[in-house]
């Protein structure tokens, strides 16, 4: 069955440090891949998406993600986090023309 796994429920990093949030999926073909962010009390906002082509995708707010087919992963990265990046991050996978599956999310905490 198709699934999306975000192994880290919580991650804490210091402001200015680099960040990597992990996302693994289970699907037989190349999926559509998304990262969304949810700030407290708000809905989700798209950070970036991958459909095809270059496997390194640039998004908003300085985020990027790399699709690795061999590892079924789509990890989100940022070279230097800011206090305003504290939020919950969701990886999502569109399977074929059918449905979208969200991971359970990773909550990012930033230390000053």
Q: Which residues bind another protein (CB under 8 A)?
A: 32, 34, 36, 41-46, 49, 51, 90, 94-105
Please give the full DSSP string across 55-108, using - where no structure is assigned: SEEE-GGG-EEEEEGGGTEEEEEESS--GGG-EEEEEEEEETTTEEEE---EEE
Return the number of the residue (87 or 101) whose C-beta is nearest another protein.
101
Chain-centroid distance, C-alpha 104: 11
Q: Considering the complex, what minimum distance in angstroms separates the CB of residue 27 from another protein?
A: 11
Q: Considering the complex, what minimum distance in angstroms separates the CB of residue 8 from another protein?
A: 13
79 contacts: CB under 8 Å, gap ≥ 6: 18, 62
Q: Considering the complex, what minimum distance in angstroms separates the CB of residue 17 from another protein?
A: 26
Return the number of the residue (56 or 100) whose C-beta is nearest another protein.
100
Return the number of the residue (29 or 112) whose C-beta is nearest another protein.
29
């Amino acid at each position: 069955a198709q699934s999306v796994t975000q192994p880290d429920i919580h991650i804490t990093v210091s402001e200015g440090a680099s960040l990597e949030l992990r996302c693994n999926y289970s699907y037989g073909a190349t999926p559509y891949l998304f990262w969304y962010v949810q700030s407290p009390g708000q809905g989700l906002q798209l950070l970036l998406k991958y459909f095809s082509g270059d496997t390194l995708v640039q998004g908003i707010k300085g985020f990027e993600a790399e699709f690795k087919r061999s590892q079924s992963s789509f990890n989100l990265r940022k070279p230097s986090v800011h206090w305003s990046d504290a939020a919950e991050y969701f990886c999502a996978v569109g399977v074929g023309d059918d449905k979208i599956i969200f991971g359970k999310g990773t909550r990012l905490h930033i230390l000053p």
